């Protein structure tokens, strides 16, 4: 039985122990091509800085090569951390991408720094003082460039003549907190909630739907799929170890399965103890499908974005292959499955 859910991919470009960031980025391109063939709706790449575990620090750089290497899948950022950047610069970059790949570019925006405070400060152009917390005004300015809604007497009005016009990206707001839901709802933007960060977001999603005039809800969930529940749990050991150490403030590349199993055996329940427990959908295709559909129901979402981290890239490929097969993506998904217009921002 086909599921009404659309299924997409969030790729954090994981770096495996003994490997390199270069190989991780090449794996991202490889996985994007596979996702395109398998029928996934979107392929988003994340922004993280100064971590040995995740290679992508600049999603806007990866989006172009991914779009060029694929044929129909939407490609975007999950997301661009707007506080680091000038709204005009982000608008220009995604305007160009939208012109080169019309109707296929998404701009997912986040407020989180994607790193620690020291690195966030290093990313600032002006380091005389911390950057102001002015995300709402940044977001409003960015949308005004895409929509050409700045008043004629505004000093930036002429800057809305972006190089890729009339093409613009589909703009999404990302988040894992009530504040992001308020911003998304008040701006009437599509909203993607990071359940893999905060699994208690049902009420937050409901708040968004109440405030948005034309709500569009997507949820990002963490999952690993293998032929059996037992094999999936074995493969997931690597990610469990990285998460356990992350909870202690220790950042490491993704460890081999055997090393992770030994770590988990030695640390017992303490390995999975976290200040905020996180949802993990791990198992056979049938188990993972039930988990993904349950998350979709909890959030009343019509799309679930799956993030998967494994030590071996072949296991990650296989996980997405099994999920696509279980949901019948190749037979039901086409480039027209995702509502989108190349020249307007949906819902505004």
Q: Which domain holds residue 101?
A: 6-123+133-230+283-332
46 within domain boundaries: yes
236 within domain boundaries: no
Give the pLDDT score at 152: 86
Structure-block tokens of residue 233: 């749990």
Once rounded to an integer, what is the mean pLDDT over residues 266-295?
Answer: 83
89 within domain boundaries: yes
1 within domain boundaries: no
Is the predicted pLDDT of residue 246 greater than 80, yes or no? yes
The tally of domains found in the chain comes to 1
21 within domain boundaries: yes
Helix, coil or strand: residue 147: helix
Give the pLDDT score at 270: 60
Is the predicted pLDDT of residue 347 greater than 70, yes or no? no
Q: For 120-137, how does the pLDDT look when each residue is reduced to its tens digit (9 = 90+)?
A: 777 777 777 777 788 999
271 within domain boundaries: no
Q: For 137-150, how does the pLDDT look when each residue is reduced to its tens digit (9 = 90+)?
A: 999 999 999 999 98
Helix, coil or strand: residue 185: helix
Give the pLDDT score at 22: 97
User: Mean pLDDT over all residues of the chain?
Assistant: 90
Cα–Cα–Cα angle for 182, 186, 192, rounded to 5 degrees: 60
277 within domain boundaries: no
Structure-block tokens of residue 54: 């995740």
Give the pLDDT score at 338: 44
Contact 216, 191 (CB under 8 A): yes
CATH code at 148?
3.20.20.30
Asked if omega into 327 is within 30° of 0 (cis), the reply is no
**CA dist 67 to 93, 132, 325, Å?**
14, 34, 23
**CA dist 22 to 75, 79, 184, Å?**
20, 20, 35
276 within domain boundaries: no
Of residues 72, 22, 21, the one with CA closest to residue 43: 72
Q: For 10-48, how does the pLDDT look when each residue is reduced to its tens digit (9 = 90+)?
A: 999 999 999 999 999 999 999 999 999 999 999 999 999
Is the predicted pLDDT of residue 346 greater than 50, yes or no? no
| Crossing angle for the helix pair 202-211 and 178-187, to the nearest 10 degrees | 20
């Amino acid at each position: 039985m086909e599921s009404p859910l659309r299924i997409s991919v969030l790729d954090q470009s994981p770096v495996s122990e003994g490997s390199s960031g270069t190989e991780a980025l090449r794996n991202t391109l490889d996985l994007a091509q596979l996702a395109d063939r398998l029928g996934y709706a979107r392929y988003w790449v994340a922004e993280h800085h100064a971590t040995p575990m995740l290679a992508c620090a600049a999603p806007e750089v990866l989006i172009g090569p991914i779009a060029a290497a694929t044929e129909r899948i939407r490609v975007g950022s999950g997301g661009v951390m707007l506080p680091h950047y000038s709204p005009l610069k982000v608008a220009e970059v995604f305007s160009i991408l939208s012109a080169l790949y019309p109707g296929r570019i998404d701009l997912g925006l986040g407020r989180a720094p994607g790193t620690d405070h020291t690195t966030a400060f290093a990313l600032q152009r002006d380091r005389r003082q911390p950057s102001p917390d002015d995300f709402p005004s940044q977001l409003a300015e960015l949308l005004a460039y895409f929509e050409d809604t700045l008043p004629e007497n505004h000093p930036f009005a002429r800057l809305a003549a972006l190089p890729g016009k009339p093409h613009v990206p589909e703009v999404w707001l990302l988040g894992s907190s009530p504040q992001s839901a308020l911003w998304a709802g008040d701006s009437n933007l599509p909203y993607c909630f990071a359940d893999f960060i905060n699994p208690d977001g049902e009420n937050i999603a409901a708040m968004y739907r109440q405030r948005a005039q034309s709500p569009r809800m997507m949820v990002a969930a963490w999952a690993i799929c293998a032929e059996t529940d037992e094999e999936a749990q074995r493969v997931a050991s690597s990610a469990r170890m990285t998460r356990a150490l992350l909870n202690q403030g220790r950042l490491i590349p993704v460890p081999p399965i055997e090393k992770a199993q030994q770590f988990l055996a030695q640390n017992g329940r303490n390995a999975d103890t976290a200040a905020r427990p996180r949802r993990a959908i791990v198992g056979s295709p049938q188990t993972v499908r039930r988990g993904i559909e349950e998350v979709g129901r909890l959030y009343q979402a019509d799309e679930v974005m799956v993030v998967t981290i494994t030590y071996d890239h072949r296991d990650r490929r296989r996980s997405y292959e099994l999920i696509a097969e279980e949901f019948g993506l190749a037979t039901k998904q086409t480039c027209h499955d995702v509502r989108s217009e190349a020249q307007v921002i949906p819902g505004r």
